[in-house]
Structure 1
């Protein structure tokens, strides 16, 4: 298991975050760190992503920080410049994978069927995102894939407190990506106590 996978495996759940205002990033990072989940996958679904990552990194150098929804090389460049530990893409784009490999940046691309898994393996990848997990057949589909392919998976998309342990029970799953503990409206409205409660709840659910 890679060092990155090992760190994620210890955390079990990676918060997937869409943040609209980078000025809220440091406080959000504080909530995550102080409540037992010192990690974040900040998605490039908003223009604030790169600045938010940079601010989080400066304030909490020890955090595990990734860039999500990485769709093109400019996203990769911005993520590296912001000092991320890894990048995640919703799908498997060989061009993006190659660019990350050239730049020495770990990438976890999304796959949801055997053909995509094999294409990813052909490029030397051993860590993949199963996305969108629930619409793609959920635990049953992932068990079928893991029975055949010697790769590690991070299910994301429809993962919730109700099913997260079902995914984590699969040997090839090292962590799950989730949004339920970092809903955008709570970040926008700076409802930090409610966010803290949701983040704390993660530990009790996946313990």
Structure 2
């Protein structure tokens, strides 16, 4: 099995992606730790976090691959993708599709999950060798978008990000989401209740996924 296929397998099995946006590098690291403690094993450190590369590197050095898969989010250009990968990122996510980012990721056999919001964008991404696209903004597109796309493109793999909550998680899973990205829902109580609140919310999402997988 190739490195890329192995990483994709882990991401799919873990299912939940924690979209980490810290105000500082330290906060980004602690949010990531809290999500892992709560059972979310795909950690997407966004480049809106100051010093995101250092956070990715530190997590990659301290967290075993079997415990969590560390990647980069909000990657807007190939230079940032290159930095993220050299810092240890095992996957790269962007809010848009950029073929030049795809080339960098393919060069290093790292999965690239670009943000797409239409069938045209999804096809363009797939034609460059992208295996999974991020549906963004997920809250605007809705779970029915996956079903609609699977009509003409039954083999398209999609991960919604943005607007995913405990209340609609079942809708996304039933629609056929390859995985889901969760962001602000995890840190809603961070300022008032601290990092323990992030762990508790991560655990709630993890338990919900287990419950829904057992039902299906």
Give yes or no for TM over 0.5: yes
Structure 2 CA distance for aligned equivalents of residues 189 and 42 of structure 1: 22
Residues 25 and 158 from structure 1, CA distance in 2 versus in 1: closer, same or farther, beyond 3 angstroms? closer
Preserved CA contact (<8 Å) 1:19 1:48: no
Structure 1 CA distance for aligned equivalents of residues 150 and 193 of structure 2: 40
Preserved CA contact (<8 Å) 2:45 2:73: yes
Identify unmatched segments of 5+ residues in structure 2.
Answer: 211-216
Q: Which residue of 2 aligns with 1:56?
A: 59
Q: Aligned ranges for residues 181-200 of structure 1 at < 5 Å?
A: 181-183=185-187, 186=190, 191-200=194-203
Preserved CA contact (<8 Å) 1:19 1:52: no
Q: CA deviation at 1:147?
A: 2.0
Preserved CA contact (<8 Å) 1:5 1:174: no
Between Structure 1 and Structure 2, which shows a larger proportion of helix residues?
A: 2
Structure 2 CA distance for aligned equivalents of residues 163 and 93 of structure 1: 29
Question: Residue by residue, what CA displacement relative to the aligned partner does 1:55-99 show, whole Å, maximum 9, x if unpaired?
Answer: 111221322011001111121121012101100011111222123
Q: Which residue of 2 aligns with 1:146?
A: 150
Q: Does 1:130 align with 2:122?
A: no
Structure 1 CA distance for aligned equivalents of residues 193 and 75 of structure 2: 26
Q: Which residue of 1 aligns with 2:120?
A: 115
Preserved CA contact (<8 Å) 2:144 2:175: no
Preserved CA contact (<8 Å) 1:181 1:202: no
Identify unmatched segments of 5+ residues in structure 1.
Answer: none
Dislocated runs of 4+, deviation >3 Å: 24-30
Residues 25 and 167 from structure 1, CA distance in 2 versus in 1: closer, same or farther, beyond 3 angstroms? same
Structure 1 CA distance for aligned equivalents of residues 134 and 175 of structure 2: 14
Please tell me the root mean square deviation across aligned C-alpha atoms, in Å.
2.1
Moved more, 157-166 or 174-183: 174-183
Preserved CA contact (<8 Å) 1:41 1:66: yes
- 158, 163, 170: which one aligns with 1:158: 163
Q: Which residue of 1 aligns with 2:214?
A: none
Q: CA deviation at 1:117?
A: 1.4
TM-score normalised to structure 1 length? 0.88
